[in-house]
Amino acid sequence: MDTVAVDLDRLADRLLEQALASPERRATLKLDLGQSTLRHLAMAFDTGGGLPQHGNPGEATLRVLRGAVRLSWAGDGGERSIEARPGMLVRIPDATHRVEALEPSVMLLTAVSLPGGQGH
């Protein structure tokens, strides 16, 4: 993989194919762009797949490349969620959260871990 640029469309096609063929209904790939603190992780899920509830280790965003995912978290006043589709960039809240694929989907997680953080 090129450490300067990644073709996200080609990557999404490949990962989605892997996720749909996987018994776990998911596929992931860590993107190595030669950065020491910024992490990129591409994830593909079949419908209903996703990430179980987990903590946020620092600052993170997700960008949907294909499909649609629901990001849910406990916020002020109860459970909150957002449905993310291609073209959306979503800040992951500083809270315990989970992700569910509403259809076959691919997303790109970008995160910076902070000292003492746990998750991603």
Give the tens place of pLDDT for each residue, 45-92.
999 999 999 887 778 999 999 999 999 998 777 899 999 999 999 999
Residue 119 has a pLDDT of 47
- The DSSP symbol for 93 reads P
Residue 103 pLDDT > 80, yes or no? yes
Lowest mean pLDDT across 25-34, 37-46, 52-61? 52-61
Q: Is 21 helix (H, G, I), strand (E, B) or coil?
A: helix
Percent of the chain with pLDDT over 90: 68
* C-alpha dist (Å) from residue 95 to 26, 72, 79, 81, 105: 23, 10, 11, 12, 23
Q: Taking the model in full, what pTM does it have?
A: 0.86
Mean residue pLDDT across the chain: 89
Rounded CA-CA distance 29/59 in Å is 19
Q: Which amino acid type is present at position 82?
A: I
Give the total residue count for the chain. Answer: 120
* Domains of the chain and CATH, by start: 8-110 (2.60.120.10)
More confident residue, 69 or 95: 69
Residue 32 pLDDT > 80, yes or no? yes
